[in-house]
C-alpha cells in the first residue's frame, strides 16, 4: 500500500470514535500497511542538528505513538525523525473517555488524554528492539499522575532511554496532568535539570514548553535551560486557550487544543524563544503545521526542526511527501541553499505576532 492509498482510507476512520480510529491507524502502521516512500529526500532538506544527520527537518511529534509500537512504520513513510512517548515510569490509564475530540471545521483536536501509556518497561523493550533506524528517534518522558517525584523520576527515565534514543524530551507542559505545568517554574525546573545533568552518558536533552507561558515565564525557562545543560526546546505543546472563531461544537471541551488554530500562537512563542535563546539552544517548532509554507515559517521563526501531529492525523501519510516538496520549493524560492540558512531569518517579524 502506498501513502496516498493509506490516506484515502482516512474518511472511513473518521466515522469512528477518534481514539478508536487512532488505535487502528497505529496498528496499520505497525503492520506496515501504510506503505512507504522509497524516494530519497531532496538534498536541500538535509540538516545536521545535535551532531546527528536528519534527511529532512519534518518530524512526528510525541503523543501519536506513545508506546513506540509503530516506529518502523512511521519512519518508512518519510518523516525526518520520529518522537515517541510521552512515557511515564509506571503504566497509567489516563483520564476517562471520551478524552479526544475532533474539531473538523477548525482542522483541530482537543485532547485530555492524561499521559495514558504502557509504562517504561515495555516502552524500553520496544526501543531496544529497534536495532537499526533510518532516521533519528526521540523519547519524550513525563511523570505519573500519582506517586510522582519529578527530581527522582525524570533522571531515571532519561537514564533508561539514553542508550536507545537520539535525543530525550522532558515534558513539563501537558495541560492534562495536574500540577505538571507548574514544573516550568524556575526553581522546580532547575532542580529537575540539575538531577538530569548527573546522568552520564545521556543523549541531547530538550524541554517541551507550553504556549501559554507569560513573557516573564518564557524568559525564565529559556535562561534556566541554557544554564543547566539543556540542548534545546520544543515549542510548543497544546494550548488551554481558545482562540476566537472556533466553529466546532466541541470547542469548549476541556484539554489541550492543537492544530491550525494553535499555529499563530505557537509560532509567536517560538520566535520569542529564539530571540531569548540567542543561539544557546536548538529549537523544534510544532503547532499547526499542515503545509510546506507552515513548516517554512516555523524555520524562519527560529526552528531548526519542525514537528506535526494534528496535521498528520488529518492528512495521513500522503501529507509527508507533499509537505517536503512544498518546503523544498519555499526554501529555493526564498534563495536559501540549506535549511540551516533559513533558521531564524524572520524571528523578529514572527515574534510580533
Active site positions, annotated: 174
Contact status, residue 78 vs residue 60, Cβ threshold 8 Å: no
Alpha-carbon 160 to chain mean position: 20
Measured CA to CA in angstroms, residue 146 lies from 33, 97, 324 at distances of: 37, 19, 41
Residues 158, 170: Cα–Cα separation, whole Å: 9
Contacts of 89 (CB under 8 A, 6+ apart): 119, 120, 143, 144, 148, 153, 156, 157
Contacts of 8 (CB under 8 A, 6+ apart): 318
For residue 151, the tally of other CB atoms under 10 A from its CB is 15
**Cell matching residue 75:** 519512519
Q: Torsion angle of alpha carbons 314, 293, 29, 205, nearest 10°? A: -120
Residues 62, 307: Cα–Cα separation, whole Å: 9
* SS3 (DSSP) at 41: coil
Largest Cα separation within the chain, whole Å, is: 53
The sign of the dihedral angle between the CA atoms of 309, 315, 321, 322 is: negative
Contact status, residue 57 vs residue 299, Cβ threshold 8 Å: yes
Contact status, residue 260 vs residue 108, Cβ threshold 8 Å: yes
Amino acid at each position: 500500500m502506498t501513502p496516498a492509498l493509506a490516506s484515502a482510507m482516512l474518511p472511513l476512520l473518521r466515522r469512528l470514535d477518534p481514539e478508536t480510529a487512532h488505535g487502528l491507524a497505529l496498528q496499520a502502521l505497525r503492520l506496515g500497511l501504510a506503505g512507504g516512500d522509497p524516494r530519497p529526500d531532496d538534498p536541500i532538506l538535509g540538516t545536521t542538528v545535535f551532531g546527528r544527520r536528519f534527511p529532512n527537518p519534518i518530524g512526528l511529534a510525541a503523543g501519536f505513538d506513545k508506546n513506540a509500537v509503530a516506529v518502523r512504520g512511521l519512519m518508512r513513510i518519510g518523516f525526518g525523525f520520529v518522537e515517541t512517548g510521552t512515557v511515564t515510569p509506571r503504566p497509567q490509564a489516563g483520564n476517562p473517555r471520551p478524552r479526544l475530540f475532533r474539531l473538523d471545521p477548525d482542522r483541530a483536536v482537543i485532547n485530555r488524554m492524561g499521559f495514558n501509556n504502557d509504562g517504561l518497561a515495555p516502552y524500553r523493550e520496544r526501543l531496544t528492539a529497534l536495532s537499526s533506524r533510518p532516521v533519528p528517534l526521540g523519547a519524550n518522558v513525563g511523570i505519573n499522575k500519582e506517586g510522582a517525584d519529578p527530581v527522582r523520576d525524570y533522571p531515571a527515565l532519561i537514564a533508561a532511554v539514553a542508550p536507545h534514543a537520539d535525543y530525550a524530551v522532558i515534558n513539563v507542559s501537558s495541560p492534562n496532568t495536574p500540577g505538571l505545568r507548574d514544573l516550568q517554574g524556575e526553581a522546580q525546573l532547575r532542580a529537575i535539570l540539575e538531577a538530569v545533568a548527573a546522568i552520564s552518558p545521556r543523549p541531547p536533552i530538550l524541554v517541551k514548553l507550553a504556549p501559554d507561558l507569560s513573557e516573564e515565564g518564557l524568559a525564565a525557562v529559556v535562561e534556566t535551560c541554557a544554564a543547566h545543560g539543556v540542548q534545546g526546546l520544543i515549542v510548543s505543546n497544546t494550548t488551554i486557550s481558545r482562540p476566537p472563531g472556533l466553529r466546532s461544537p466541541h470547542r469548549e471541551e476541556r484539554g489541550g487544543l492543537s492544530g491550525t488554530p494553535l499555529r499563530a500562537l505557537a509560532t509567536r512563542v517560538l520566535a520569542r524563544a529564539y530571540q531569548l535563546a540567542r543561539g544557546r539552544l536548538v529549537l523544534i517548532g510544532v503547532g499547526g503545521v499542515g503545509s510546506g509554507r507552515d513548516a517554512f515559517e516555523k524555520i524562519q521563526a527560529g526552528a531548526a526542526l519542525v514537528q506535526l501531529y494534528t496535521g498528520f492525523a488529518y492528512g495521513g501519510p500522503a501529507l509527508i511527501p507533499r509537505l517536503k516538496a512544498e518546503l523544498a520549493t519555499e526554501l529555493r524560492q526564498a534563495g536559501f541553499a540549506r535549511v540551516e540558512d533559513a533558521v531564524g531569518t524572520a524571528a523578529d517579524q514572527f515574534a510580533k505576532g
